[in-house]
């Protein structure tokens, strides 16, 4: 069986490409217009472990507030972390700032090769290939989850991921053309997102159906295979919600490194597999809500007890400081802390 024809896919893409705010549409790309590297980079970082629907609003807000890499580089860390809140995987936001500042310090221009891009903070092989192909027209192999799925089905690769990744990369590289490599990469992504979907792929309207070994063998929907995942452990902790008579709430900035690094949230204990040691941030008549907040991270489940209290106006905490809801709105907190904050507000209102 011959390899699928990239030209057939490009004809499909020219008619059916998704219209996304960070993309140059195919009619402009064919005229030589290329995407802004800053916007490609920003969108690709946001899309890591995140859906297009979830990332789009954040992307539009970021580019309106920080329209280029120099503007982002000059932003305050706390402003960027607050703007990222809710998008998850907060190390991405820290690396976003590090990368923006490195690029700005070097003259405000992203390099155009994969090796040079990977030398920047937070840019790995996938993001480097995407920027090189889409923004600079390099014949780079872009391999995200959609592309892996398409390649696994096209070539009936039954070996499970992640072990099969390099085999899938080799197939993707063989199909990547010299002409319009960025559009080709986006076309394969669109194919995976809209037709070659994880469940119930629409094989009947797929432009690459004639060359798809997985469809011919009746395996398409079962691919790609994945190695069994390890069970996630459960960690526990205590979050402290303290509110003064003026309505301000005690918050602290987490250490710059580690989970939720640099993000603002309620003071809490360490998150441990076992019984957490209480560590209240101030003297108060704490009321406990056991197991009140639950959240799942990539590698573990988290169960937080919520301890809440109203405290006098002159309370001086051992850590953190009091913020009004206007100065630190709940929307600026990471998702797990937002859950705890809103629950704390309800508990104190009910207690009052």
- Dump the DSSP string for 207-232: TTGGG-HHHHTT-GGG-S-BPPPPPP
Category of 26 on φ-ψ map: left (φ > 0), alpha (ψ -120 to 50) or beta: alpha
Q: What confidence score (pLDDT) does residue 330 get? A: 84
| pLDDT tens digits along 179-195 | 999 999 999 999 999 99
**230 pLDDT above the threshold of 90:** no
Smallest CA-to-CA distance from 14 within 22, 5, 24 is with: 24
**31 pLDDT above the threshold of 80:** yes
Q: How confident is the model at residue 89 (pLDDT cuts 50, 70, 90)?
A: confident
Q: What confidence score (pLDDT) does residue 97 get? A: 96
Question: For residue 50, with 0-12 CB atoms within 10 Å meaning exposed, 13-18 middle and 19 or more buried, which class applies?
Answer: middle
Please give the residue that has the higher pLDDT: either 3 or 106.
106
Q: What's the rounded mean pLDDT across residues 158-164?
A: 95
Please give the residue that has the higher pLDDT: either 91 or 113.
113
Q: What's the rounded mean pLDDT across residues 103-125?
A: 96
Sign for the CA dihedral angle at 193, 196, 198, 204 comes to positive
Q: Is 64 a catalytic residue?
A: no
Determine the Cα–Cα distance for residues 237 and 301; give it in Å rounded to an integer. Answer: 11
pTM equals 0.82
Of 78-82, 120-124, 147-151, the range with the lowest mean pLDDT is 78-82
**78 pLDDT above the threshold of 90:** no
- Residue 67, both tokens: 């329209």
Smallest CA-to-CA distance from 171 within 187, 147, 195 is with: 147
Centre a 10 Å sphere on the Cβ of residue 274 and count the other Cβ atoms it contains: 8
Q: What confidence score (pLDDT) does residue 3 get? A: 83
**242 pLDDT above the threshold of 90:** yes
Q: How confident is the model at residue 332 (pLDDT cuts 50, 70, 90)?
A: confident
Q: What's the rounded mean pLDDT across residues 310-337?
A: 90
DSSP letter, residue 262: T
Contacts of 52 (CB under 8 A, 6+ apart): 18, 20, 193
Q: What confidence score (pLDDT) does residue 235 get? A: 96
Q: How confident is the model at residue 298 (pLDDT cuts 50, 70, 90)?
A: confident
**5 pLDDT above the threshold of 70:** yes
Determine the Cα–Cα distance for residues 80 and 225; give it in Å rounded to an integer. Answer: 38
**348 pLDDT above the threshold of 80:** yes
Q: What confidence score (pLDDT) does residue 326 get? A: 84
- Residue 96, both tokens: 């976003």
Q: Which position among 11, 27, 31, 44 bears the catalytic label?
A: 44
């Amino acid at each position: 069986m011959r390899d699928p024809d990239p030209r057939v896919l490009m004809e499909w893409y020219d008619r059916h490409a998704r219209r996304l705010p960070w993309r140059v549409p195919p009619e402009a790309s064919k005229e030589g217009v290329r995407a802004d590297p800053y916007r490609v980079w920003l969108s690709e970082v946001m899309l890591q472990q995140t859906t297009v629907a979830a990332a789009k609003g954040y992307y539009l807000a970021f580019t309106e507030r920080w329209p280029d890499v120099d503007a982002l580089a000059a932003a305050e860390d706390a402003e960027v972390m607050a703007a990222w809140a809710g998008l998850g995987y907060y190390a991405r936001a820290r690396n976003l700032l590090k990368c923006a500042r490195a690029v700005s310090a070097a003259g405000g221009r992203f390099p155009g090769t994969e090796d040079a891009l990977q030398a920047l903070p937070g840019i790995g092989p996938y993001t480097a290939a995407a920027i090189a192909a889409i923004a600079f027209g390099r014949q780079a192999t872009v391999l995200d989850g959609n592309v892996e799925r398409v390649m696994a089905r096209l070539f009936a690769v039954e070996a499970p991921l992640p072990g099969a990744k390099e085999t899938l990369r080799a197939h993707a590289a063989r199909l990547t053309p010299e002409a319009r490599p960025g559009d080709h990469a986006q076309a394969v992504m669109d194919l995976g997102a809209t037709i070659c979907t994880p469940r119930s792929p629409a094989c009947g309207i797929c432009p690459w159906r004639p060359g798809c070994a997985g469809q011919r063998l009746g395996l398409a929907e079962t691919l790609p295979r994945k190695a069994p995942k390890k069970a996630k452990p459960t960690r526990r902790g205590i979050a402290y919600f303290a509110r003064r008579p003026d309505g301000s709430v005690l918050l602290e900035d987490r250490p710059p490194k580690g989970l939720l690094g640099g993000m603002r949230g309620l003071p809490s204990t360490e998150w441990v597999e076992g019984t957490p040691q209480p560590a209240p941030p101030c003297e108060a008549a704490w009321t406990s809500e056991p197991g009140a907040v639950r959240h799942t991270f990539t590698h573990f489940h988290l169960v937080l007890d919520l301890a809440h209290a109203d405290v006098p106006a002159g309370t001086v905490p051992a850590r953190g400081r009091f913020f009004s809801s206007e100065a630190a709105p709940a929307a600026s907190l990471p998702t797990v802390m937002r859950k705890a904050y809103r629950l704390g507000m309800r508990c104190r209102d009910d207690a009052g």
